[in-house]
Structure 1
């Protein structure tokens, strides 16, 4: 998990558009820890991942969300777990 933590950074949503267009962006709900979720994905923890997806805590980025983040010039936390880019909205005040 330390490696994933080091590879996590804030990035503008506009810089992730190519990955969104490829269907490779997974959105992590604020209730989940981004690094722990990325670790579960990296370790193929199918039970956890499928539960989160069923509960909509982890899901592919929707067009509505992508358009909103684009319009707001939103910054997100992101980490790559190939072939996915996991993102979580940065809720800290600007």
Structure 2
């Protein structure tokens, strides 16, 4: 990781925060949410998006690890109201649910 890359990672890490689905619904309505599967490093994915690393992002999307939030998942999040983690990389909000993360409660 270069100094510039690690600085971006640290910046994004500092901007990552817990959030509830209720607060994310307007972004979902605009089609601006990207779902990141829980086994992925949310900040590393955000960094790849910020750096326009199309190859890595496309690979994750092809593997189903990153993608636009689908209606079925949105309905599930509305029903369960879990705590989520999010970070903004304009124009996107990257969001993730981390299973078993007891620090969120």
The interval holding the TM-score normalised by the smaller chain is over 0.9
- What does residue range 1-94 of structure 1 map to in structure 2 within 5 Å? 1-91=9-99, 92-93=101-102, 94=105
Q: Which runs of 5+ in 1 are unaligned?
A: none
TM-score, normalising length: structure 2:
0.86
Alignment deviations for residues 25-73 of structure 1 (CA, whole Å, 9 cap, x no partner): 0000122100000000000000000000011100100000001001111
Root-mean-square deviation over aligned CA pairs: 0.9
SS of the residue corresponding to residue 5 of structure 1 reads: helix
Distance 1:70 1:90 in 2: 16
Distance 1:58 1:76 in 2: 15
Which protein has the bigger helix share? 2
Name the larger-Rg structure: 2
4+ long deviations beyond 2 Å: none
How far apart are 1:79 and its partner, in Å? 0.1
TM-score, normalising length: structure 1:
0.96
SS of the residue corresponding to residue 13 of structure 2 reads: helix
Q: Which runs of 5+ in 2 are unaligned?
A: 1-8
Q: How many corresponding residue pairs? A: 94
